[in-house]
Structure 1
Amino acid sequence: MWKRLATKPLTWVLAVALLGAVAFGGYWFQPWKLVTDEVVDEAVPVAQVPAPQTTEPDTDPADPASASPEPTSSAPASPSPAGNQLIAAGEFVTHEHETTGTAQLIRLADGGHQLVLRDFATSNGPDLRVWLSDQPVIDGRDGWFVFDDGRWAELDRLKGNRGNQVYDIPDDVDLDALTSVSIWCKRFSVSFGAADLSA
């Protein structure tokens, strides 16, 4: 009789512990996200590609014919065209999960900056963030864990694992130093995919 009574509380304790473990595992890993998509289709800014900088031709001081003509006016050079400017871009490479699309860094006409993800696709997952980083993008497993090793700036949670999306970049982010973008799983400290941002 005593044995039968003693096993009932133990069974309840085990059942509660098992349910707690299942609930925690579900929250932590969120396995349903591997089979669901969150699609985003934001309006992306139109941007011009800046014209390449021209350099003065070499001149030979001993050859008067090679000398540049004297300027006829002291007027300043014309300003760059008004509008948004594409200043850097790169294609995503796959890290822990297959990731495709293009990352674009755009300087807006008002002086602000945005990161645009075009035709973007990756796996859904828990706690995904959009990071700018100073780390190089490395193919394969060696590149999965590097983005929290150096400097980084978190722009926002990933809005969706598919589609066009836009992220505002705060004015205090050093865009000269942060030259890559990673879709970073903050919970497990791993990159789903990343892109170098090249001029």
Structure 2
Amino acid sequence: MSSPHTKRRVPTLVLWLGLPVLLFGAAFAWWAISPLFFSTRVDEAFPVAGASAIPDPTAAPEVVAVPLATATPDASPVTVTATPEQPTPGAAEEPTPSVEPTVAEVPTEPIALATGTFTFIDQLHWAEGEATIYQLPDGSRILRLENFKAQNGPDLRIGIAGHPMPRSSAELHDTGPGYIEFERLTANEGNQNYAIPADLDLDGFLSVVIYCRAFSTVFSTAEVN
């Protein structure tokens, strides 16, 4: 026969074991749901490459002096008499044409490589604004979002995909070159920049993607061309 103390101890033990689970569940629900009701904003300026990174095409090439080797005279020199070449009668002497040095043109303004507009999927998964991939004068590349606004969500990331308009995780990862993720989305509103790795070949990538990594959900895509 159980004692009254044992009966009181069982509910207390259940309470202490269940309390951490309840707290964890509440924290997870807040993390997952609260971003839907809040917005964050940034307004990053267009990056400008430093003037020192742009080579000056008008600068004179650097001249390095190389000392000439001193030849040791032969003890028994051989004398060679050169016979001057006689000009052909009536032939006019042609002037030597001057060769102008070729200077490679270096772009001084950013070049838009591809651009697209974000799309609406449903009431909880959408974005608007433009996504443009630029090459800067120093050779680096960036992905820039302008007039951007998206539905906020948990663990949102930004990257590029081989599918022109992926709507599922399978389409995102299994089409063409797949999905390359850059970093966490800085904010769900405002102009922002994301660096593109220098060794990344952009051939085959057709869209910019806002992706919720935690729930493997596509929030919006922009087909770029």
- The aligned length equals 166
1:126 partner amino acid: P
TM-aligned CA deviation for residue 19 of structure 1: 2.2
Superposition pairs for residues 81-160 of structure 1, below 5 Å?
Answer: 81-95=107-121, 97-137=125-165, 143-145=167-169, 146-150=171-175, 151-160=178-187
Q: Return 5+ residue gaps in structure 1 as ranges.
A: 47-73
Superposition pairs for residues 23-62 of structure 1, below 5 Å?
Answer: 23-27=27-31, 29=32, 31-45=33-47
Normalised to the residue count of structure 1, the TM-score between the two structures is: 0.73
Superposed CA offset, 1:96-122 (max 9, x none): 512100000111111111110000011
Alignment partner of 1:20: what SS? helix
TM-aligned CA deviation for residue 44 of structure 1: 2.0
Distance 2:15 2:7 in 1: 12
Does residue 191 (structure 1) correspond to residue 195 (structure 2)? The answer is no
Q: Return 5+ residue gaps in structure 2 as ranges.
A: 49-99
1:149 partner amino acid: D
Q: Which residue of 1 aligns with 2:20?
A: 16
Does residue 175 (structure 1) correspond to residue 179 (structure 2)? The answer is no
1:191 partner amino acid: V
TM-aligned CA deviation for residue 147 of structure 1: 1.5
- Work out which of the two has the higher radius of gyration on C-alpha atoms and give 1 or 2: 2
Structure 1 residues 154 and 6: alpha-carbon distance in aligned structure 2, compared to 1, 3 A threshold:
closer
Superposed CA offset, 1:84-106 (max 9, x none): 11121001012351210000011
1:6 partner amino acid: V
Normalised to the residue count of structure 2, the TM-score between the two structures is: 0.66
